[in-house]
A and B are shown apart, each in its own frame.
Chain A
Amino acid sequence: MSLQPQRIVLDNGIAVLYHPMPANPFVAFHGCLWAGAASEDKRGVAEFTARLLLGGTKTRKSSKLAEDIERLGATLEFRNAEEAVHFGGKCPRETAPKVFGIMVDCLSNPSFPQSEVEKEHGEILDEIKMDMDDTARRAAKELMASLYPNHLYGKDPRGEVTDVKRIKRSDLVSHHKASYGPKGMIVVMSGDVDRELVEKKISPVLSKFEGEGERPKLPIPAPAKKVTKTVPMPHKTQADIAVGLRAIPRNHKDFHALNMANLLFGRIGMYGRLGKNLRDTQGLAYYSFSTLDPRLVAGHWAIAMGVNPENLQKAVDGIRLEMDRLHKEPLTDQEISDGKDNQIGSLKVSLERNVEMAGEMFRMEYFGLGLDYLKRFPEMIRSLTVEQIHEAAEKYIRIEDCSLAVAGPVGRYQEKKLQLS
């Protein structure tokens, strides 16, 4: 299987990437345009606008839009994020040009009917309310706010309740006019696609998209503010722990070394070293894993874990012990060799699905990794040295820099008692 996608750039600035996977006979697509929270001048307006793209266009009411999409055997979704608005869906090959036609209609001509604005208004507020009652999301929200103080990465891209309440229809119209355009937009497709379909049938449809938006200049976040915070939620059974620190953006030279350290610390198998201790040996948690989340201008590394509140202290002690051990007993040659085999082998396994292939192509374009990234990937991983991986772990995974947030029935646990370091 060739791992190099085809890429064309349309006259209006849209980059289109595609990769045939004929064994999976449908089209999976994914993409983004630069109209997310980073482009808004009133907090919450990007989220509201993205959600209303399916709320009706100048020629289709919301119900007609839904019917047209579903009659084509398709799915189509839009999702706002901090840096951009993402879209994606699936459809049969035969209906793909029409599905992209509907997508372009949604992006070009949203009508923002007042009734849909009111509907979405309530839904966003209720979703925020639900997240405030979710221990894992609550802990993660506190952690992100500490890692990116006053930066869009540290804020809920939906805005807070007060922001959402202030948004009017005219704000959506303004944001759409200013931010929705094809320049720098990315569209990737995988599955039952070929040159004929993409270049002759879909590209002419995408070429019709016009608009003003441009890629925003993302501000570099200020340094993280280290905090320890507990969020009492006495009605819950389990507490969620989020521990983390600022790391690196995706294009940083240390990315692959740090990614390997993270894989071995809290991901591989049943959550790496962390899971082996906290889940497998101590039986403290069903999940305890780490994540490296590199973005365009910054990134962070975090641990997530759900525990019985009686075991909070043990869990925090266990996290501390494993993070310390990463420096006192660095990753062994054998661990690193296993990690390299994992990453190289995963190319054959993790790209077996259309949706996974589309996601990988999207990241290649979004982060500018190059069309030959997947071809180069095995050699990049093989050439990582033990020293590079140790240095990345030493430099970035440091307990003294970590923030800690706990949400749940924390009871007698106060912030002072839960210090990590």
Chain B
Amino acid sequence: MATVTKLDNGLKVILKQIPGATAVSVWIGYHIGSRNERPGMTGSTHWVEHMLFKGGGKLKKGDIDLLIGRLGGKLNAFTDTDFTAYFETVPADAIDTALFIEAERMRNAAFEQKEFESERTVVISEREGAENMPEFVAEEELWSNAFHIHPYHWLPIGWKQDLQRLDRDTMYRHYLRYYAPNNVAMVVVGGFDEAATMEKIRARFGGFKPEQPPEPMNLKEPPQMGERRSVIRKPGSLDHIFAGWHIPEFSHDDTPKLAMLSAVLAGWRGYHPFAAIGWQPRSNRLYKALVEAKLAIDVTCRAEVKIDPGLLVSHVAVRSGVPPEKAERVLFNEIEKIKQKPPSKVELDVARTQIHAWSGFENDGVTYQGMITTFFEMAGGFEKYDHTISAVDRVTAKDIQDVARKYLTENNRTVVHFLAEEVKA
């Protein structure tokens, strides 16, 4: 069970005690992601995240690594379309170190010009490493083609041209504007005393003044009026197909039905991206139709967790020698089949059982629990994660068909083919 407290300055604190845990994970999620960016400043939110490892206030450059390193702790940060999150996992008796770092990070980051410039090439290097991967190139194309108005048009890493041009002052203003207590949820999970921890949090964060509430991001993607398609031809090893259908925001009532739909189609690998590395579910329709049938070597399907209406994305890594059109035809046939013929009882049982089991697997330990709680808090409320997991029990075969018919339509989809050209030596 979690305890939720709101400080006077607007900072929301979510505490989840795990009796006996020897570690504690402190997460801070800011309601600022690439959806809050504007053309010309794409990638700035992610760049700010990098700058917040470079000291400021009572922290010299390198101190964050040093302080957490000496404790044998873990730390990292993530920038998403909808939020930016930072965490430290430390021995339970060292929670104050994590709180100290996050307090300094919230209001006192240095943003020195020299550091800003040296980070420019690091961020560009991160993007260039991703550009080496066909999956990144194709997925960037998918989102940019599926969203013409809404900022989901670009990925959190941003366009390279913007990364080459962005200046320090714009970024620093962005930081001051959004890194304020009233734009934050703090999540603490692990072994701690609740009252003492709240006291520490008030002492560290209670004095921070709130900023004006962030202006609402009102851009809405208009309904898609027909299929959108693009082709990328690049040297590579395999062809890839990405297909995305517009779906509603995570807090929508259809979310549990879409979770079940994607599980019946391609199996379940949990909500967060780290717990399922290497696991390939095989008792699902798309695996049987594409991988078992020797048309693909992998297929996935995921309903994205987003604040605003997002996408249900399916990815097919096409087997060598198979025309991508053929694999695509089979993919869309399977989508049509589920509209015509409801999933069987066994399919429903497998999907439900896997979703429930994965809610345990992806909450393994204090760090992952902190991650799940923060990610879902940022997407509309941490309690919605548990609601979604339990709501899948009430999803019927007809519900699955209904959401398939409603969202997985030709007019509502965007398709990208990455066609691998022969690599010239």
Residues of A that sit less than 8 Å from B by CB: 1, 22-26, 28, 54, 62-63, 66-67, 69-75, 77, 79, 90-92, 118-119, 122-123, 125-127, 129-130, 132-135, 232-238, 268-270, 276, 279-287, 306-308, 311, 338, 341-350, 352-356, 408
Decide if B281 is an interface residue (CB 8 Å cutoff).
yes
Which of B113-121, B163-171, B377-385, B387-395 sits within the interface?
A: B113-121
How far does the Cβ of B316 sit from chain A's closest Cβ, in whole Å? 13
Q: Which residues of A lie under 8 Å from residue B288 when comparing CB positions? A: 63
Q: Which of A66, A126, A237 contacts B319 (CB 8 A)?
A: A126
The docked-state distance in angstroms from the alpha carbon of A268 to that of B291 is 41
CB proximity to A under 8 Å, residues B263-293: 267, 278-279, 281-283, 287-288, 291-292
A338 touches B132 (CB 8 A): no
A348 touches B291 (CB 8 A): no
The docked-state distance in angstroms from the alpha carbon of A119 to that of B69 is 46
The docked-state distance in angstroms from the alpha carbon of A118 to that of B293 is 10
Residue of B nearest to A118 (CB): B294
Decide if B60 is an interface residue (CB 8 Å cutoff).
no
A232 touches B425 (CB 8 A): yes
A126 touches B131 (CB 8 A): no
Residue of A nearest to B281 (CB): A70
Decide if B320 is an interface residue (CB 8 Å cutoff).
yes
The docked-state distance in angstroms from the alpha carbon of A54 to that of B287 is 14
Q: A71-B353, A126-B238, A235-B235 are known contacts. Are A344 and B72 too (CB-CB below 8 A)? A: yes
B23 touches A348 (CB 8 A): yes
Q: Which residues of B lie under 8 Å from residue A69 when comparing CB positions? A: 283
The docked-state distance in angstroms from the alpha carbon of A410 to that of B122 is 19
The docked-state distance in angstroms from the alpha carbon of A67 to that of B364 is 24
The docked-state distance in angstroms from the alpha carbon of A377 to that of B12 is 39
Decide if B424 is an interface residue (CB 8 Å cutoff).
yes
A345 touches B71 (CB 8 A): yes
The docked-state distance in angstroms from the alpha carbon of A134 to that of B131 is 11
Q: Which of B23, B69, B279 contacts A268 (CB 8 A)?
A: B69
B125 touches A306 (CB 8 A): yes
The docked-state distance in angstroms from the alpha carbon of A280 to that of B63 is 13
The docked-state distance in angstroms from the alpha carbon of A270 to that of B55 is 13
CB proximity to A under 8 Å, residues B105-141: 117-126, 128-129, 131-133
Q: Would you list 7 pairs from A and B whose C-beta atoms are within 8 A, ordered by A residue? A: A62-B282, A70-B350, A77-B278, A122-B294, A122-B319, A134-B132, A348-B92
A268 touches B65 (CB 8 A): yes
Residue of A nearest to B54 (CB): A280
Count of A-B residue pairs with CB < 8 Å = 210
Q: A26-B361, A126-B319 are known contacts. Are A283 and B22 too (CB-CB below 8 A)? A: no
Q: A23-B21, A77-B278, A237-B131 are known contacts. Are A308 and B89 too (CB-CB below 8 A)? A: no
A133 touches B22 (CB 8 A): no
The docked-state distance in angstroms from the alpha carbon of A282 to that of B115 is 10
Q: Which of B72, B235, B320 contacts A350 (CB 8 A)?
A: B72
Known: A235-B236, A311-B121, A348-B92. 20 other contacts (CB 8 A): A1-B22, A24-B365, A26-B364, A66-B282, A67-B350, A71-B349, A90-B357, A92-B360, A126-B238, A235-B235, A238-B128, A238-B132, A285-B125, A308-B125, A338-B69, A345-B72, A350-B72, A352-B21, A352-B365, A352-B367
CB proximity to A under 8 Å, residues B22-74: 22-23, 53-54, 61-62, 64-66, 68-74
How far does the Cβ of A342 sit from chain B's closest Cβ, in whole Å? 5
How far does the Cβ of A156 sit from chain B's closest Cβ, in whole Å? 15
Q: Which of A91, A129, A280, A344 contacts B238 (CB 8 A)?
A: A129
Residue of A nearest to B61 (CB): A280
Q: Which residues of B lie under 8 Å from residue A280 when comparing CB positions? A: 54, 61-62, 118
The docked-state distance in angstroms from the alpha carbon of A287 to that of B128 is 12
B22 touches A343 (CB 8 A): no
How far does the Cβ of B262 sit from chain A's closest Cβ, in whole Å? 14
Q: Which residues of A lie under 8 Å from residue B243 when comparing CB positions? A: none
6 closest Cβ pairs, A-B complex: A345-B72, A269-B65, A346-B72, A73-B357, A353-B365, A66-B282
Q: Which of B126, B317, B357, B364 contacts A353 (CB 8 A)?
A: B364
How far does the Cβ of A147 sit from chain B's closest Cβ, in whole Å? 24
Q: A269-B68, A283-B120, A353-B365 are known contacts. Are A348 and B129 too (CB-CB below 8 A)? A: no
Decide if B234 is an interface residue (CB 8 Å cutoff).
yes
Q: Which residues of B lie under 8 Å from residue A90 when comparing CB positions? A: 357, 360-361
Q: Which residues of B lie under 8 Å from residue A342 when comparing CB positions? A: 69-72
How far does the Cβ of A346 sit from chain B's closest Cβ, in whole Å? 3
Q: Which residues of A lie under 8 Å from residue B360 when comparing CB positions? A: 24-26, 90, 92
Q: Which residues of A lie under 8 Å from residue B72 when comparing CB positions? A: 341-350
How far does the Cβ of B55 sit from chain A's closest Cβ, in whole Å? 11
How far does the Cβ of A351 sit from chain B's closest Cβ, in whole Å? 8
- Which of the listed residues B69, B89, B237, B317 has the most CB atoms from chain A within 10 Å of its own CB? B69
A308 touches B128 (CB 8 A): yes
Q: Which residues of A lie under 8 Å from residue B294 when comparing CB positions? A: 118-119, 122
B71 touches A23 (CB 8 A): no
Residue of B nearest to A119 (CB): B294
Residue of B nearest to A68 (CB): B283
Q: A54-B282, A129-B320, A341-B71 are known contacts. Are A282 and B118 too (CB-CB below 8 A)? A: yes
Bits for B329-368, please: 1 = Cβ < 8 Å to A, else 0. 0000000000000000010011001101100110111111
